[in-house]
Amino acid sequence: MSPPQLTSGDVLADRRAGYARMLLDSGDAAAAADLQRQALDLAPGWAAGWHELGLYREAAKDLAGAAEAWRQVLVIEPADMFGAGMKLALVGHAAIPAVPPSEYVAQLFDDYSDRFDTALVEALHYVVPERLTAMIADAAGPGARFAKVIDLGCGTGLFGERIRGVTSWLEGYDLSQGMLAKAAEKGVYDELGQADILYGIEAARQPGASQANLVAAADVFAYFGDLDPVMAVAAGLTVDQGLMALSLEAGPDDCDWVLQTSLRYCHGETYLRRLLDSHGFTLVSLSREPIRRDGSNQITGLLVVARKRSPAAVKPPETAVALSGDAIPVPSAPN
């Protein structure tokens, strides 16, 4: 959280909250929760403090008390930049949301932007940009270039850096201003814009901008549960016979989507295949493999490249997932 949210505005409350964190670190979650509640008696309008209280009570196995704290967060901060609604869902006190609050995602990545590349690539061994780029190259064929690529949820530009060499025009969109600032420093994008993928892409793009030959979403769809609306957005941005590349966190094959304790979503392969088909995409390649670490755990992902069918195209068999070397059609110029 940023400093204005970490402080309550009351020196004594902040001191007690600091001691509460020390108690949690020492393993006494119940005592931490008790001291944090005392801090909130002095600063009852402190949303971040209530969020912390919920976490301490959750660690102490007091789920009803945790839910009470997170409900108070929503009273004070209804836009929910802390993800309290998702926490409530995970402890069984609210319906599971199909997508997280935009304010939560923007705040999460704004806070993470300064250390994102180092933490993700070096510490967590994040490999999605490299692996997707390699799969795209296999699908497009030797020497293929793209007239336009759209990088959805571009973050700091890790994927953009790797695809830049084979595209004439590269656009990137993200919710987080902090991430966009880091992407701009790399100088690989022709256009960057702040946008909510579900609701703001068209408004963020230049009027009359053309579709892309490749639309990519590297480690983005894990922040959506129901993928149907965001898949529709991606399909609308992709030219006929163009490619879409994406990654997901792999869930059980018999599930559509599941909200995890990480507050990210995982998805089932059968669900993914069904959605690709319903939005006019033919699966070109799919790989189930490790994509990064999360603490001591290895996260398995689904990496996908799919081709958008022309309206009159005959749908091939579902089993046709071999890599294709077809040439990528390009528009006359990127608008």
- The average pLDDT across 296-323 equals 73
Do 199 and 294 lie in a common domain?
yes
Say if residue 227's pLDDT is above 80: yes
On whether both 258 and 221 belong to a single domain, the answer is yes
Residue 149 CA to residue 132 CA, distance in Å, equals: 13
Q: What is the CATH number of the domain that holds 85?
A: 1.25.40.10
The answer, yes or no, to whether residue 261 has pLDDT greater than 60, is yes
Q: How far is residue 244's CA from residue 136's CA, in Å, rounded to a whole number?
A: 9
Provide the terminal-to-terminal Cα distance of the chain, rounded to the nearest Å: 38
Position 112, amino acid = Y
Instruction: Report the number of distinct structural domains present in the chain.
Output: 2
**Domain final residue pick, 97, 127, 159:** 97
Same domain, 35 and 177: no
Q: Are residues 204 and 123 in the same domain?
A: yes
Q: Using one digit for the tens of pLDDT, what is the confidence trace for 176-220?
A: 999 999 999 999 999 999 999 998 888 888 888 899 999 999 999
List, in sequence order, the alpha helices (H) in 79-227: 84-90, 102-112, 116-117, 128-140, 158-163, 177-186, 201-204
Long-range contacts of 50-56 (CB under 8 A, 24+ apart): 50/76, 51/82, 51/84, 52/17, 52/20, 52/21, 54/84, 54/87, 56/20, 56/24, 56/29, 56/32
Q: How does residue 320 score in pLDDT terms, banded at 50, 70 and 90?
A: very low
Calculate the average pLDDT of the chain.
89
Instruction: Say whether both 86 and 219 belong to one domain.
Output: no
Sign of the torsion formed by the C-alpha atoms of 26, 30, 33 and 38: negative
253 shares a domain with 154: yes
Which residues constitute the domain of residue 74? 3-97
The pair of three-digit structure tokens given for residue 32, joined into one six-digit string: 């931490």
Q: Could you tell me if residue 219 is inside a domain?
A: yes
Q: Which amino acid is at 88?
A: L
Asked whether residue 117 is assigned to any structural domain, the reply reads yes
Question: Is 330 part of a structural domain of the chain?
Answer: no
Element containing residue 194 per DSSP (H, E): strand 191-194
pLDDT of residue 326: 38
Q: Strands 191-194 and 297-308: what pairing?
A: unpaired
In a domain, 319, yes or no: no
- Residue 245 domain-assigned (yes or no): yes
Range name among 59-73, 110-124, 253-267 with the lowest pLDDT average? 110-124
145 near 212, Cβ under 8 Å?
Answer: no
Cα separation of 238 and 269, whole Å? 22
Residues 128 and 255 in one domain: yes
Q: Region of 295 please: left (phi>0), alpha (psi -120 to 50) or beta.
A: left
Q: Which helix (H) or strand (E) holds 11?
A: helix 11-25
- Whether 26 is covered by a domain: the verdict is yes
Give the model's confidence band at 30: pLDDT under 50 very low, under 70 low, under 90 confident, else very high: very high
Residue 147 lies in a domain: yes
pLDDT at 121: 66
Do 7 and 151 share a domain, yes or no?
A: no
* Same domain, residue pair 163 and 249: yes
Per-residue model confidence (pLDDT) at position 295: 75
The CA-atom distances, in angstroms, between 101 and each of 14, 81, 112, 207, 237 are: 27, 7, 17, 27, 23
Tell whether 148 and 240 lie within a shared domain.
yes
Residues 144 and 89 in one domain: no
Question: Distance between CA atoms of 13 and 311, rounded to whole angstroms?
Answer: 62
Residues 204 and 148 both lie in one domain: yes
Q: Quick check: helix, strand or coil at residue 182?
A: helix
What's the CATH code of the domain at 168?
A: 3.40.50.150
* Predicted local confidence at residue 313, as pLDDT: 60
* Domain-embedded: residue 70: yes
Tell me the C-alpha distance between 306 and 36, whole Å. 50
